[in-house]
Amino acid sequence: MASLPDAVTTLLRAADANLLLRDAEGLVEVLTGCGWTPDVESGRFSTDGWDLLSSAWPPNVSVFFDGDDHPVRVAALAVAAAMKAEPHRWSFDSEGPDWSTWAVDDARWDEDEVDWLMWEAEDVMVSLFTAGETPAGPGTLPPHLHLAIGRADTPSEGLPRDDERARRVVREGSVVDRWYLAGERELLEDVIEALENDPDPRVRAAAESERWIRERAIDGPPPAE
């Protein structure tokens, strides 16, 4: 079985509500400490061909890897093996077949319905999914895996919009808090404008990039910093 990038295996070991998923500061501290490199866009990191999207409201992480069927399956099996190597910590479950026991070339990858594999600890939930080429709108998604890490106490519907919290983060939050706030999808216009005029260039760049994404511009790349 091929090894995973160090940043991925270290992240799995650091999946804790009081460390990784504590707050915005905890996310950046742990992720950069694990070897993930932050991007311009709010909450986005990368390492060795893997991408990570994180949010601070509520704190959660989603890791993505795509490519051809074989390397994606190898990577997904390696993630599952790393999780199963700690049975004293994680309780395992799956609503479908346990594909973590299959070989990379097993025919069931193409014949059976592949579902999420799930692990739960006292305060954290980890889910792992993989799929081959998948229709998506007018095109297709390449073979990919999705690893999700979230707090066990987060409601299934997520946390409600909180405009007062957003304004408080703009006024009193750290640079990291404001960088994460820029990526939230439902923000009042005055909050967005404040972030776009933030004294820190990282926050301004993230806010400008997120506005471009919100407006779904098609006539060029996101605005430069």
User: 37 and 104 share a domain?
Assistant: yes
Domain count, the chain: 2
Q: Dig out the tokens for 139 from the structure.
A: 């095109």
Over 50: is that where the pLDDT of 218 sits? no
- Give domain status of residue 66, yes or no: yes
DSSP-based three-state secondary structure for 84:
helix
List the structure tokens of 27: 């996310």
Beta bridge partners of 66: 144
Phi, psi (degrees; rounded to nearest 5) at 188: -65, 155
Decide which of 215 and 86 is more confident: 86
Please give the residue range of the domain that contains residue 113.
6-151
Q: Please indicate, yes or no, whether residues 172 and 126 belong to a single structural domain of this protein.
A: no
Instruction: In whole angstroms, give the CA distance from residue 94 to residue 115.
Output: 7
Distance of CA 211 to the CA centre of its chain: 20
Residues 109 and 80 in one domain: yes
By the 8 A CB rule, do 42 and 213 touch?
no
Higher pLDDT: 125 or 156? It is 125
The predicted pLDDT at position 10 comes to 96
pLDDT band at 210, cuts 50/70/90?
confident
**Contact status, residue 22 vs residue 153, Cβ threshold 8 Å:** no
- Over residues 38-68, the pLDDT tens digits come to 999 999 999 999 999 999 999 999 999 999 9
The helix (run of H) or strand (run of E) holding residue 196 is helix 189-196
Sign, Cα dihedral of 163, 211, 39, 82 = positive
pLDDT, tens digit, for every residue of 97-132?
A: 999 999 999 999 988 788 999 999 989 999 999 999
